[in-house]
Amino acid sequence: MATILGTSSSAILASKPFSAPSLSLTSSGLSFGRKYYGGTGLVSKKGRPQFHVAVASVATDIGSVEKAQKAAAKESQRPVYPFAAIVGQDEMKLCLLLNVIDPKIGGVMIMGDRGTGKSTTVRSLVDLLPEIKVVSGDPYNSDPEDPESMGIEVRESVVKGEDLTVVLTKINMVDLPLGATEDRVCGTIDIEKALTEGVKAFEPGLLAKANRGILYVDEVNLLDDHLVDVLLDSAASGWNTVEREGISISHPARFILIGSGNPEEGELRPQLLDRFGMHAQVGTVRDAELRVKIVEERARFDKNPKEFRKSYMAEQEKLQQQISSARSFLSSVQIDHDLKVKISKVCSELNVDGLRGDIVTNRAAKALAALKGREHVTAEDIATVIPNCLRHRLRKDPLESIDSGLLVSEKFYEVFS
């Protein structure tokens, strides 16, 4: 695919990262435990702030202890294969990076042969995820600055004018196992509080934990239909509504949906497939030298995971910097009107249903330009991402032998030439 499009993600990742302005709430506030008091006021029409957000971290002594505890907890966790060590699979890696840069792209569906590193690549993304501001102690990872991403309790506190304690935390990645129950996914009544205190309390589920993060479903094409319905509802509205055992509650559930699977094991329901912003196809590496390199790298990792991860530390940090710079630079990226018209013309001539394909292609092209450190989207950027944004939205013809991604590429060059 990379040769067809004329661009590979390895070249993209090697490009010089755009220097972003430094954030005031970075490692100095958390790592060293200094106190910060201050905040942001949203000014109403009368000139009075509607609410005030207080940013505070723990005192220096407690902060150093917490830092040591976090480091010890991280060391005790199961080691993750480094993202920078993944050989090949450029299309899949690029789709994942673009979704981290702009979560509104809508996630990525990864389909391919078994044993091609799909789940390994997705889980390796954890190390690259940036930090976000959340309200301390809130189970929904509420955004202190965006009312649409606030839980009900936080929103009530804002209305009352109460100060919110804000902390920095890494974006969550939540695994949704195939055997999960609907109660565990959506949330249910808190049995412990019901028995001990006699009150009806809500116990948040996986969707609450995944808010403003990543929800990963391995073998998504084998997921039970009732869980697919739950994901469809949350992905469409960005909210999860629970009505059970006398409890009625809604909470934000905006997440990047990532799924992987083997097409030989079953097709994905078209309703859910359309909810994925991008679609990546993964094939088995055929080059003998590359296969040997993959085997050797995996053997090194299995023998000594810590040493292996250290050997890729510099590349991982470079990728983190690129992602952070691209996220901060994304809002200033522009796409010309004539390019937007041509994107919509491609979608129209391919008979793509709805407008999701147009929206996702525009967002993905801007994210790619931000990753390259450019302020304007080029036709080359669109050529790189448009097959991944449209191939799963085409109507399937059982007699068609050509890959849908090639059909999209052919139509792109026909329109853009």
Look at the alpha carbons of 218, 224, 230, 236 in this order and tell me if their dihedral is positive or negative: positive
Active-site residue (options: 212, 356, 391, 393): 356
Give the pairing of strands 214-218 and 256-261.
Answer: parallel
Between CA 108 and CA 84 the distance in angstroms is 19
Confirm if 268 and 220 have CB atoms less than 8 A apart.
yes
Q: Looking up tokens 């669109």, which residue turns up? A: 382
Whole-angstrom distance, CA of residue 357 vs CA of residue 15 = 27
Q: Virtual CA dihedral for 127, 133, 135, 136, nearest 10 degrees? A: 50
Token pair 């990872």 is at which residue?
141
Q: Are 251 and 208 in contact (CB under 8 A)?
A: yes
Please report where in the chains the tokens 């808010």 appear, as a residue. Answer: 211
The answer to whether 70 touches 31, Cβ cutoff 8 Å, is no
* SS3 at position 262: coil
**Is 356 an annotated catalytic residue?**
yes
In eight-state DSSP terms, residue 177 is: -
Tokens standing for residue 99: 């979704």
Return the residue matching tokens 């702009």: 102
Residues marked as catalytic: 356
